[in-house]
């Protein structure tokens, strides 16, 4: 069976079935070739309003459905992601510019997210609270109702399903707005999986669209929680809009994560880890290693090793050849990368590797002799750029790593694990990896950043998901009506 046969979804939205979009249709294009590889419905504010209303109606019955039934749907969804991994992965390669191993990580993680969500349905959802009065006092968690999910282009499947699956498992309905540039791999594939898994109609709506659709989703009165993954600038706007409507917004935003290489680290392993952290998926990952802080005794040799690796990494169309890096998502992002690299060189940085592009294929780039104010070091690049800065001691390393508005992921490489852990305690970060680079995620692990990287861990693991997608209600029960003096 073909899950993503175009005849099923071409030119439509998934909203109580496959329907025409009031906002018309839009092309899905391959960033590697520029060719149109599909068309999807494009939602406007009217489409969002209808979807949210239908979701609110369907949610009540779903919340009353037994947990084994909800779990069965999630398990079937996980099995379908595994069964159709090659087909979905092909879309991730062509539509998102992913290399096949990265696409495989996404499909495998999507299946795991569904399996973990299935287990979440039977997770304890409350506690007995002491009371000074003769009554049973409970704090219980109830579904919020309708969850709005806004997901980005870079890991389109994972960054959508990690909210969609647990929200559904906990008895909510979901309205998902995937990035229009990856609407099939990050939206249509999820709709088709849950359609085939037997999710009742009206509980999941997939609405690719622009800023107007996102604004309508945040403002809609039926939506009580917004789960947003994207840039810090956009996240600030989403958070402000949600606050005006007195609803919660869980924000997973940008980063400029540091990889600290201490003086006792294995140089070859460190350079390999650094290359992976900066160049995986063309650096288009929130956790990408954006700053390489290397002890001065190793810095020059580290730059040389990292530049050698960059020079030998093949760049090209991952749908046609075996490459390490695919295309940047679009010209706007490519031009941003190039402007930061150019400005950094103009400011005195040395281009040790890369710094050139052909179309949307940007060479992995290494910058040496940078300072804390070098543009590609100080700002989130979201591209395959590795700025290297030397430090002299642990105090300087901690100060440099912490000198940023972001706080998403941190890697520290050292043979002395306890020294590395002590250093990590001095640097604000939502995620810390000792003897690993900064890019890592698992369905069972809490995920989230601090500062400009977001509002903390609202993804991964039962505690984070229950907190994200339920409300707390205090409930008391007495055997008889209490007597009062009035």
Handedness of CA 472, 59, 170, 102 (dihedral sign): negative
Q: Are 399 and 413 in contact (CB under 8 A)?
A: no
pLDDT at 41: 97
The residues with which 434 forms a beta bridge, in sequence order, are 412
- CATH 3.40.605.10 matches 6-253+454-475: yes
**Furthest-apart CA pair in the chain: how many Å?**
84
Instruction: Going residue by residue through the chain, which has 486 residues, state the pLDDT in tens, using 9 for 90 and above.
Output: 799 999 999 999 999 999 999 999 999 999 999 999 999 999 999 999 999 999 999 999 999 999 999 999 999 999 999 999 999 999 999 999 999 999 999 999 999 999 999 999 999 999 999 999 999 999 999 999 999 999 999 999 999 999 999 999 999 999 999 999 999 999 999 999 999 999 999 999 999 999 999 999 999 999 999 999 999 999 999 999 999 999 999 999 999 999 999 999 999 999 999 999 999 999 999 999 999 999 999 999 999 999 999 999 999 999 999 999 999 999 999 999 999 999 999 999 999 999 999 999 999 999 999 999 999 999 999 999 999 999 999 999 999 999 999 999 999 999 999 999 999 999 999 999 999 999 999 999 999 999 999 998 788 889 999 999 999 999 999 999 999 999
User: Domain boundaries in the chain?
Assistant: 6-253+454-475, 257-434
| Alpha-carbon gap, residue 25 to 215, rounded angstroms | 19
Which residues make Cβ contacts (< 8 Å) with residue 308, sequence separation at least 6?
353
Q: Do domains 6-253+454-475 and 257-434 have the same CATH topology?
A: no
- What are the residue numbers of the active site? 252, 286
Which residues make Cβ contacts (< 8 Å) with residue 426, sequence separation at least 6?
398, 402
> What dotted CATH number matches 257-434?
3.40.309.10
Exposure string (b/e) for 291-300, b if CB count within 10 Å is 16 or more?
Answer: bbbbbeebbe
């Amino acid at each position: 069976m073909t899950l993503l046969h175009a005849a099923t979804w071409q030119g439509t939205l998934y909203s109580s079935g496959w329907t025409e979009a009031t906002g018309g249709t839009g092309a899905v294009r391959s960033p590697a070739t520029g060719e149109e590889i599909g068309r999807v419905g494009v939602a406007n504010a009217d489409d969002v309003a209808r979807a949210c209303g239908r979701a609110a109606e369907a949610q009540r019955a779903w919340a009353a459905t037994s947990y084994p039934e909800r779990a069965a749907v999630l398990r079937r969804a996980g099995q379908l992601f595994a069964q159709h991994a090659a087909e979905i992965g092909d879309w991730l390669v062509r539509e998102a510019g992913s290399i096949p191993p990265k696409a495989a990580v996404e499909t495998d993680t999507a299946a795991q997210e569904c399996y973990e969500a299935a287990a979440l349905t039977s997770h304890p959802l409350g506690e007995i609270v002491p009371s000074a009065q003769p009554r049973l006092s409970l704090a219980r968690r109830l579904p919020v109702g309708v969850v709005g999910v806004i997901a980005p282009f870079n890991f389109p499947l994972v960054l959508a399903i990690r909210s969609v699956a647990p929200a559904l498992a906990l008895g909510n309905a979901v309205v998902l707005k995937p990035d229009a540039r990856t609407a099939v791999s990050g939206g249509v594939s999820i709709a088709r999986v849950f359609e085939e898994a037997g999710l009742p109609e009206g509980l999941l709506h997939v609405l690719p669209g622009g800023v107007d659709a996102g604004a309508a989703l945040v403002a809609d009165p039926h939506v009580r929680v917004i789960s947003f993954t994207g840039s810090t600038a956009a996240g600030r706007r989403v958070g402000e809009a949600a606050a005006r409507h007195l609803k919660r917004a869980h924000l997973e935003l940008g980063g400029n994560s540091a990889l600290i290489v201490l003086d006792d680290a294995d140089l070859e392993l460190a350079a390999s880890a650094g290359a992976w952290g900066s160049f995986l998926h063309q650096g288009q990952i929130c956790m990408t290693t954006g700053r390489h802080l290397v002890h001065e005794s190793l810095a020059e040799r580290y730059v040389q090793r990292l530049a050698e690796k960059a020079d030998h990494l093949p760049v090209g169309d991952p749908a046609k050849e075996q490459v390490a890096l695919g295309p940047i998502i679009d010209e706007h992002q490519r031009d941003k990368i190039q402007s930061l690299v150019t400005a950094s060189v103009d400011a005195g940085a040395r281009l040790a590797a890369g710094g050139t592009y052909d179309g949307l294929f940007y060479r992995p780039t290494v910058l040496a002799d940078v300072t804390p104010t070098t543009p590609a070091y100080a700002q989130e690049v979201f591209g395959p750029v590795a700025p290297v800065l030397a430090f002299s001691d642990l105090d300087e390393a901690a100060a440099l790593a912490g000198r940023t508005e972001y706080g998403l992921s941190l890697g520290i490489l050292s043979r002395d694990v306890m020294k590395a852990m002590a250093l990590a305690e001095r640097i604000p970060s939502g995620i810390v990896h000792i003897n690993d680079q900064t890019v890592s995620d698992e369905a069972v692990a809490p995920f989230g950043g601090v500062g400009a990287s977001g509002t903390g861990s609202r993804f991964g693991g039962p505690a984070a998901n229950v907190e994200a997608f339920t409300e707390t209600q205090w409930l008391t029960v007495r055997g008889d009506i209490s007597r009062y003096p009035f």
